[in-house]
């Protein structure tokens, strides 16, 4: 649905007394999601690192550019499509990989997939998803999907994840590099809440044959030690144990008795990220897949240059929505340097702080090939499940479409640097 249709449907709803259930303005969207979600679930999504200065910087960077609209250019027909890796996409929006979506809604990744399918927007599966990729792929039908990888300490697990991603139709692998260590997030530290320790957001692992084998080997080694007498569990600990068990795709009671849920979490904690990762590791992945590989989280021009030299096929300029390094460079500020270093050899995408159509317009004007939606769609999910995600996507596409037309552009190709001035 394009801008005018979306506007009209909202205003017509008003005539018969209905208002959008999913607020259009970002602040109201966030506030409504806060009310709909559990306090720790909302905090996990909203959190930034440290004093959240990177979260603020991402927004401030957009505000430092102004659009200069052009007139009298017949913008009655507008083409929002972009081409990425030989495939034409209907709009320049993709859904960013977001882990632990069950914190927002019980239907989690499946609801997002249904929305992506209905709106024709590509979905990037998170390594920390709440639902195994194969099930989400099924729900997507023909909709494009990519897989986001966190490089595990076990190369066998990496291989297995990539092979599964290929088998379920993913058309690119996105390696996220900015989270080999978890950032310092006061909003999660104060309530002492990390979802993974409660068995949430580890479905790609618990559904993985290689990971399952490693858990069994741990059990054979007596790791973790299930014979140690347990202290009497508190109610909260019991709830956690039950959640852990549910993360494991076996009969609930069998898992509870065998302690595999806890063993899986233990194995996950021991192996999920690899801070020792270097450029020398990239050939391992390059040799194992013919899919395009994008590196997500690059901000320095030298890293971008090196990525292209290493045979990578794309870059996502991202600071993880300000969740990793407090006081980091805003992505829109990093974009020009990265683009210059890459010199058109591979597409450069951007995320972190996209809150409306004009943000996407600015990123594309400066040279981004496409943008990733992050927190806004999670908030839509929290408020109204799949329908909420659909509405958020529709609003972004509508806003972008209208901004493009009002700025005097008929297609994304015409969205170029001339459209912007420094504030
Ligand atoms: C709750 C949450 C979970 C996330 N999980 C992942 C993840 O599993 N993998 C990943 O590459 N990025 C993850 N990200 C980062 C997003 O992909 C994206 O970079 C970020 O949300 C963009 O910032 P924005 O939401 O402020 O627009 C996550 C972000 C949030 C808010």
Mean pLDDT of 365-372: 98
Q: Which of 38, 56, 161, 374 to mutate for ligand 1's pocket (most ligand atoms within 8 Å of CB)?
A: 374
If you ran DSSP here, which 8-state letter would residue 107 be given? T
Q: Has 320 been annotated as catalytic?
A: yes
pLDDT band with cut points at 50, 70 and 90 for residue 270: confident
pLDDT band with cut points at 50, 70 and 90 for residue 226: very low
CB-ligand 1 contact for 352 (6 Å cutoff): yes
CA of 133 to the centre of ligand 1 (A): 17
pTM above 0.85, yes or no: yes
| Most confidently modeled range among 11-25, 214-228, 242-256 | 11-25
Q: Is 332:62 a contact under the CB 8 Å cutoff?
A: yes
CB-ligand 1 contact for 255 (6 Å cutoff): no
**In the block, which residue shows the tokens 């993974």?**
196
On the question of pLDDT at 223 being above 70, the answer is: no
CA dist 273 and 177 (Å) reads 10
Please state the atom number of ligand 1 nearest to the C-alpha of residue 127.
8
If we measure between CA atoms, which residue out of 421, 422, 423 comes closest to residue 70?
421
Q: Where is 402: in which H helix or E strand? A: helix 375-407
On the question of pLDDT at 138 being above 70, the answer is: yes
Q: Using a pLDDT cut of 90, give the percent of the chain over it.
A: 86
pLDDT attached to residue 220: 82
Q: Is 81:215 a contact under the CB 8 Å cutoff?
A: no
pLDDT attached to residue 167: 98
* Interstrand relation of 123-125 and 293-298 (parallel, antiparallel or unpaired): unpaired
Q: Which of 98, 273, 335 to mutate for ligand 1's pocket (most ligand atoms within 8 Å of CB)?
A: 98
Please state the atom number of ligand 1 nearest to the C-alpha of residue 352.
23
Q: Which of 58, 99, 314, 381 to mutate for ligand 1's pocket (most ligand atoms within 8 Å of CB)?
A: 99
- Give residue-wise pLDDT tens across range 271-314: 888 999 999 999 999 999 999 999 999 999 999 999 999 999 99
Q: Is 314:346 a contact under the CB 8 Å cutoff?
A: yes
Mean pLDDT of 161-180: 98
CA dist 55 and 46 (Å) reads 10
Residue environment code for 191-220, b if the CB has 16+ CB neighbours within 10 A, otherwise e: eebbbbbbbbbbbbbbbbebbbebbeebbe
Query: Is 349 in a helix, a strand, or coil?
Result: strand
pLDDT attached to residue 141: 98
Please state the atom number of ligand 1 nearest to the C-alpha of residue 296.
11
pLDDT attached to residue 225: 44
CB-ligand 1 contact for 365 (6 Å cutoff): no
CA dist 31 and 295 (Å) reads 32
If we measure between CA atoms, which residue out of 401, 416, 257 comes closest to residue 339?
416
CA dist 81 and 409 (Å) reads 13
């Amino acid at each position: 649905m394009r801008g005018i249709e979306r506007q009209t449907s909202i205003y017509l709803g008003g005539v018969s007394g209905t208002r959008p259930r999913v607020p259009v303005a970002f602040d109201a969207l966030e506030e409504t999601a806060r009310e709909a979600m559990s306090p720790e679930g909302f905090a996990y999504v909203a959190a930034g690192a440290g004093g959240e200065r990177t979260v603020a910087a991402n927004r401030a960077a957009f505000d430092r550019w102004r659009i200069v609209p052009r007139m009298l250019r017949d913008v009655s027909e507008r083409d929002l499509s972009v081409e990425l890796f030989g495939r034409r996409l209907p709009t320049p929006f993709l859904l960013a990989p977001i882990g632990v979506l069950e914190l927002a809604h019980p239907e989690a990744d499946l609801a997002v997939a249904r929305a992506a399918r209905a709106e024709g927007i590509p979905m990037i599966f998170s390594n920390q998803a709440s639902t195994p990729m194969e099930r989400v792929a099924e729900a997507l039908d023909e909709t494009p999907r990519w897989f986001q990888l966190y490089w595990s300490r076990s190369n066998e697990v990496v291989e297995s994840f990539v092979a599964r991603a290929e088998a379920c139709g993913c058309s690119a692998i996105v390696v996220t590099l900015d989270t080999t260590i978890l950032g310092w997030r006061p909003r999660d530290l104060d309530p002492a809440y990390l979802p993974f320790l409660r068995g949430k957001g580890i479905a790609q692992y618990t559904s993985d044959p290689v990971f399952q084998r490693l858990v069994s080997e741990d059990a054979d080694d007596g790791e973790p030690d299930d014979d140690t007498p347990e202290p009497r569990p508190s109610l909260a600990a019991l709830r956690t144990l039950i959640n852990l068990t549910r993360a494991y795709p076996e009969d609930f009671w069998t898992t509870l008795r065998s302690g595999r849920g806890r063993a899986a979490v233990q194995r996950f904690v021991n192996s999920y990220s690899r801070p020792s990762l270097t450029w020398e590791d990239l050939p391992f992945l390059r040799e194992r897949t013919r899919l395009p590989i994008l590196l997500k989280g690059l901000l320095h021009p030298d890293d971008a240059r090196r990525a292209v030299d290493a045979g990578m096929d794309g870059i996502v300029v991202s600071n993880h929505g300000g969740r990793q390094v407090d006081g980091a460079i805003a992505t829109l500020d990093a974009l020009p340097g990265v683009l210059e270093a890459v010199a058109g050899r591979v597409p450069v995408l951007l995320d972190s702080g996209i809150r409306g159509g004009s943000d996407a317009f600015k990123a594309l004007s400066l040279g981004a090939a496409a943008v990733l939606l992050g927190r806004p769609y999670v908030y839509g999910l929290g408020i109204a499940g799949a329908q909420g995600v659909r509405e958020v996507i529709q609003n972004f596409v509508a806003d972008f479409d209208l901004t493009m037309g009002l700025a005097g552009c008929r297609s994304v190709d015409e969205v170029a640097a001339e459209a912007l001035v420094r504030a």
